[in-house]
Amino acid sequence: MKPSLPQGTRDFGPEVVRKRQYILNTIKAVFELYGFQPLETPAMENLETLMGKYGEEGDKLIFKVLNNGLGDAKNIEKSKAAFENALQGKNDKNLTERALKYDLTIPFARYVAMNHGQLTFPFKRYQIQPVWRADRPQRGRYREFYQCDADVVGSKSLLNEVELTNIYHQAFTQLGIKNYELRINSRKILTGLAERVKAAEKFLEITIALDKFDKIGLKGVEEELRKIGLDEGDVVFITNGFLFISTHPNTNQERLRQLRVLFQKVPIALEGIDEIEYVLNHGNDNKTIVVDTTLARGLNYYTGIIFEAKAPAEVKIGSIGGGGRYDDLTGLFGVPNVPGVGISFGVDRIYDVMEDLKLFPETVEKGTKVLFFNLGDEEAKTTYRLLQEVRSAGVPAEIFHEAQKFDKQFKYAEKKNIPFIIIIGSAEVAEQTAVVKDLRSGQQQKLPFEKLKEFLFI
Amino acid sequence: MKPSLPQGTRDFGPEVVRKRQYILNTIKAVFELYGFQPLETPAMENLETLMGKYGEEGDKLIFKVLNNGLGDAKNIEKSKAAFENALQGKNDKNLTERALKYDLTIPFARYVAMNHGQLTFPFKRYQIQPVWRADRPQRGRYREFYQCDADVVGSKSLLNEVELTNIYHQAFTQLGIKNYELRINSRKILTGLAERVKAAEKFLEITIALDKFDKIGLKGVEEELRKIGLDEGDVVFITNGFLFISTHPNTNQERLRQLRVLFQKVPIALEGIDEIEYVLNHGNDNKTIVVDTTLARGLNYYTGIIFEAKAPAEVKIGSIGGGGRYDDLTGLFGVPNVPGVGISFGVDRIYDVMEDLKLFPETVEKGTKVLFFNLGDEEAKTTYRLLQEVRSAGVPAEIFHEAQKFDKQFKYAEKKNIPFIIIIGSAEVAEQTAVVKDLRSGQQQKLPFEKLKEFLFI
């Protein structure tokens, strides 16, 4: 049998795991610095927790887990009925009642709803875990991938939005990603826009049309808006008025001023504009923030400020994060009035950005620092003692597993990128010295045993 | 809808995540010190990768993932046929072709088989990931739990076994778990035992009987051996001869001597005894190692030395780790002759041991160190600048989200176990000072802004 991996899934070998860990640990440290606390939820959720939360298309992409014991004698009747239902496209509890989580937001809402009596609000949590989607795999799109989220729930304060913009800035800066852009808009402005074009009931459709701007451009959005049934004047208002604000270079202040002109009689939009202004005035880094009227974010649950972090233009990778404010996520689970705001980091894309721009520090890949050669059981006893001493000083070290020829042992060190080798033969045991070779420079020297730790620790 | 979790799964809140991370990071650091490299494999594997690898009982406990689009019009015929097969207890690719991984060993073997051309042997990898089993949930047994494994493949050297015993010792010691025991035995001795009682073909059944010793005791094992069909003399040889060696207090050396007497004419057993002796002589910690003839380990694939780590007797938790040598794990996937040896840490049980014995250091639970009170937008500007300075010094800090009454802000700090609060009112802004209060001691003092960082950093 020739082994293979399921489509859209990946193994991560040592080098990749280390680099991914570097990204995740950096972001995690920033979350902690801002007072966010870790949460982990199981891979499987009850199917009913997930279904109906991601739209019709989303529902189809949920991986469902088969109940065990379907073919068992005692379950035959139930299973038959379940299969009948499945053939009619209906979910049946006797076929599947669990599913793999599709994102971290709904499980978080489920957790808050289940535990709201015990939690201290505002509750600030971060969560870094894999999620699963039965999407058609393609470049940069996988069926298992990590999400990395931070959310505050139980607070309406805009200070949270300010904090989240600062988290983006600090995390990207620490990762070395300069020239990223944090796009900002408000669903309140979009709500105002729908009102302004006398199509409040078409708010979601308009949002979805705007959300396609990056892919289909201004002409495409125009087309979509016509399809929705907006009249020509309103289409022009949106494309030549509203979107124009962002498709032409300008300062954030000027864009906000133009928005105030467009929406002078639409209170909800003015509220959104004020909120954006508050965030711009309070953040410790508003140079990377860009007011962007083309930003819409497709997800239904956003109600206030929305964010999207864009990779530096030179790498052509697009979005590397996003988020926004929602009013009532836990309402879905019977606990109303828990407003919140959250952001997400796109780990896979951040990885690609960092590879493209060569931003991973060399130290990330550090594995074993020294290989002790194996010259046979007699010498190995001394070697083994020294090896343990070196390790006790915190230096990752190995002994070659067998007393093979030197060239084999050298090759092992080279392939594993181990910078130092140490050779202790019978002569060295007698002298209490070790031959130390730096494989990068080729330099070789004899050191007394007691100097070894010190030498390697540098 | 009242939200709930699938049976046998758990949410991990902030405190638990931090404690679990402490355990995993400690073990991980030891793995790295010994030259092991990280590997991650996907949650889902192809069903055929997993089926047939864990015995009939194991197969039943594998969580299978339903194919998407079963009820879609174009799939109806295939789905019907698949359902027919399922009702007869047969797997069908049109119903399910993926499953959640059941352990880390088989996915590792699959990885090695797929990548053996690129890997440097001996290949030393560690892997810390969740696995899933449809076991009936009970105290201490979950349907999703973490495994934490280290394996070396591509080497027959006993130095690997020595290294693994040292890893156990160093990891448990660093976690503060003293008085653990590392039980050691060899499947070669058990093979010799089966030969010695003229039942070589019943090796596995005998092993399974011995494996139950902890649960059913000596009498129970006797019963099982009779059921297998061993004659009375052989049953007595096993219980009163072989097992007696370990059920009575004695030194390892004496136990090995007694084993040599029992197996003087059984070469395979003598080989096993020699190997154990080698490990005892070469490990840097053989005080915690106990030669244990009752140790069998049920898994088919072990062929040499086997380990089991037992929790300190006072906590009554039993096994907290185990492993052993296998000859040919990747043979299952068409790549023969890759011998290896591995160990596993039982993370959930180690967690319980550490809770019972209060071994988690206080620093593990450290979250936010200081809460800045929010006294309104005007003061908040100064506060926010100082907050960012404190964070830039690496001190986790928060500002309360709204200018609420002091008692509410105090309560938040208390509930979140934040040790320091800082109050900056308009008087303080004018003076450039901050009121700092230590909530543990109740002590309060005024500090100039420039002293804040220094004070909090201690």
Q: What is the pLDDT of residues B175-189, one digit of tens each?
A: 999 999 999 999 999
Neighbours of A358 (CB within 10 A): 7
What is the signed CA dihedral for A294, A299, A302, A307, rounded to 10 degrees?
-50
Q: Assign A214 a pLDDT band (cuts: 50, 70, 90).
A: confident
Residue B253 has pLDDT above 70, yes or no: yes
Structure tokens at B354: 């550490």
Residue B57 has pLDDT above 90, yes or no: no
Distance of residue A63 Cα from the nearest chain B Cα, in angstroms: 7
What pLDDT is recorded for position A285? Answer: 67
**B370-372 β-sheet, strand order:** B397-399, B370-372, B420-423, B433-438, B444-448
Q: Assign B71 a pLDDT band (cuts: 50, 70, 90).
A: confident
- Residue A146 and residue A128 in contact, taking contact as beta carbons nearer than 8 Å: yes
What is the signed CA dihedral for A446, A449, A454, A455, rounded to 10 degrees?
20
State the Cα–Cα distance between residues A56 and A105, nearest whole angstrom. Answer: 17
Supply angle C-alpha A239, A215, A56, rounded to 5: 100
What pLDDT is recorded for position A70? Answer: 80
Q: Which residues of A touch B417 (CB under 8 A)?
A: none
Q: Which residues of A touch B402 (CB under 8 A)?
A: 155, 157, 159
B190 is an annotated ligand-binding site residue: no
Residue B16 has pLDDT above 90, yes or no: yes
Distance of residue A243 Cα from the nearest chain B Cα, in angstroms: 32
Report the pLDDT averaged over residues A110-133: 96
The chain B residue lying nearest A92, using CA atoms, is B71
Q: Which residues of A touch B162 (CB under 8 A)?
A: 384
Q: Which of A400-431 are b and which e, b meaning 16 or more Cβ less than 10 Å from the residue's Cβ?
A: bbbbeeeeebbebbeebebbbbbbbbeebbee
Q: Assign A316 a pLDDT band (cuts: 50, 70, 90).
A: confident
State the Cα–Cα distance between residues A381 and A365, nearest whole angstrom. Answer: 30
Report the pLDDT averaged over residues A64-92: 84
- Residue A421 and residue A442 in contact, taking contact as beta carbons nearer than 8 Å: no
What pLDDT is recorded for position A284? Answer: 67
Residue B292 has pLDDT above 90, yes or no: yes
B151 is an annotated ligand-binding site residue: yes
What pLDDT is recorded for position A77? Answer: 85
Residue B365 has pLDDT above 80, yes or no: no
The chain B residue lying nearest A371, using CA atoms, is B35
Maximum Cα–Cα distance for chain A, whole Å?
95
A302 is an annotated ligand-binding site residue: yes
Report the pLDDT averaged over residues B136-145: 90
Residue A37's identity, in one-letter code, is Q
Please indicate if any CB of chain B lies within 8 Å of the CB of A113: yes
User: CB–CB of A398 and B35 under 8 A?
Assistant: yes
Q: Which residues of A touch B2 (CB under 8 A)?
A: 333-334
Residues forming beta bridges with residue A319, ordered by sequence position: A310
Q: Return the residue in B12, B30, B39, B44 with the most chain A beta carbons within 10 A, the one to mutate for interface testing.
A: B44
Q: Measuring CA to CA, which residue among A318, A323, A315 is closest to residue A354?
A: A315
Domains of chain A: 14-356 (3.30.930.10), 366-457 (3.40.50.800)
Report the pLDDT averaged over residues B262-269: 96
- Residue A23 and residue A347 in contact, taking contact as beta carbons nearer than 8 Å: yes
Peptide bond into B122 cis (omega under 30): yes
Q: Measuring CA to CA, which residue among A303, A333, A299 is closest to residue A109?
A: A333
Report the pLDDT averaged over residues A389-411: 94
State the Cα–Cα distance between residues A425 and A432, nearest whole angstrom. Answer: 10
Q: Return the residue in A28, A44, A56 with the most chain B beta carbons within 10 A, the one to mutate for interface testing.
A: A44
Cα distances from B417 to residues A7, A117, A284, B15, B384, in angstroms, run 46, 18, 27, 11, 21
What pLDDT is recorded for position A458? Answer: 63
A104 is an annotated ligand-binding site residue: yes
Three-class SS state of B341: strand
State the Cα–Cα distance between residues B107 and B113, nearest whole angstrom. Answer: 10
State the Cα–Cα distance between residues A339 and A329, nearest whole angstrom. Answer: 7
What pLDDT is recorded for position A72? Answer: 80
State the Cα–Cα distance between residues A71 and A312, nearest whole angstrom. Answer: 54
User: Residue A298 contacts by C-beta under 8 Å, 6 or more apart in sequence?
Assistant: A207, A208, A211
What pLDDT is recorded for position B70? Answer: 80
What ipTM was estimated for this complex? 0.93
What pLDDT is recorded for position B413? Answer: 96
The chain B residue lying nearest A98, using CA atoms, is B6
Distance of residue B104 Cα from the nearest chain A Cα, in angstroms: 12
Report the pLDDT averaged over residues A75-98: 86
User: CB–CB of A397 and B33 under 8 A?
Assistant: yes
Q: Which of B33-53 are b and which e, b meaning 16 or more Cβ less than 10 Å from the residue's Cβ?
A: bbbbbbbbbbbbbbbebbbeb
Please indicate if any CB of chain B lies within 8 Å of the CB of A93: no
- Residue B80 and residue B52 in contact, taking contact as beta carbons nearer than 8 Å: no
The chain B residue lying nearest A402, using CA atoms, is B157
Report the pLDDT averaged over residues B63-87: 86
Higher pLDDT, B140 or B277: B277
CA atoms within 13 A on the CB side of A450: 0
Residue B300 has pLDDT above 80, yes or no: no
Beta strand segments in A81-238, E: 96-100, 123-132, 144-153, 181-186
- Least CB–CB distance from B412: residue in A120, A134, A388: A120
Supply angle C-alpha B222, B223, B225, rounded to 5: 65
What pLDDT is recorded for position A69? Answer: 82
CA atoms within 13 A on the CB side of B315: 23
Looking at chain A from residue 233 to 292, which residues have their Cβ under 8 Å from any Cβ of chain B? 282, 284
Q: Which residues of A touch B60 (CB under 8 A)?
A: 68-69
A133 is an annotated ligand-binding site residue: yes
CA atoms within 13 A on the CB side of A326: 22
Residues B80-138: pLDDT tens digits?
888 888 888 788 888 999 999 999 999 999 999 999 999 999 999 999 999 999 999 88
Q: Assign A78 a pLDDT band (cuts: 50, 70, 90).
A: confident
The chain A residue lying nearest B365, using CA atoms, is A37
Distance of residue B369 Cα from the nearest chain A Cα, in angstroms: 8
- With residue B125 as reference, give the H or E element that holds it: strand B123-132
What pLDDT is recorded for position B447? Answer: 95
Backbone angles phi, psi at B121, to 5 degrees: -100, 150
Average pLDDT of the residues of chain B: 93
Residue A10 has pLDDT above 70, yes or no: yes
State the Cα–Cα distance between residues A368 and A373, nearest whole angstrom. Answer: 14
Structure tokens at A168: 């983006």
- Least CB–CB distance from A2: residue in B100, B334, B415: B334
Residue A187 has pLDDT above 90, yes or no: yes
Q: Which of B430-457 are b and which e, b meaning 16 or more Cβ less than 10 Å from the residue's Cβ?
A: eeebbbbbebeeeeeeebebeebbebbe
Q: Measuring CA to CA, which residue among B204, B216, B269 is closest to residue B241?
A: B269
Residue B286 has pLDDT above 90, yes or no: no
Q: Measuring CA to CA, which residue among B271, B248, B269, B272 is closest to residue B184?
A: B272
Q: Which long-range contacts (CB under 8 A, 24 or more apart) does B69-74 make?
A: B69/A60, B70/A86, B70/A87, B70/B95, B71/A86, B71/A87, B71/A88, B71/A89, B71/A90, B72/A89
Residue A225 has pLDDT above 80, yes or no: yes
A297 is an annotated ligand-binding site residue: yes
State the Cα–Cα distance between residues B23 and B36, nearest whole angstrom. Answer: 17
Q: Which residues of B touch A10 (CB under 8 A)?
A: 42
Q: Which residues of A touch B159 (CB under 8 A)?
A: 374, 380, 399, 401-402
What pLDDT is recorded for position B103? Answer: 95
User: CB–CB of A13 and B63 under 8 A?
Assistant: no
Neighbours of A162 (CB within 10 A): 21
Average pLDDT of the residues of chain A: 93
A368 is an annotated ligand-binding site residue: no
Structure tokens at B31: 């793995």
Residues A245-282: pLDDT tens digits?
998 999 999 999 999 999 999 999 999 999 999 999 98
Cα distances from B350 to residues B148, B176, B287, B365, in angstroms, run 11, 11, 20, 17
Backbone angles phi, psi at B435, to 5 degrees: -90, 120
Cα distances from B431 to residues A382, B399, B425, in angstroms, run 66, 20, 10
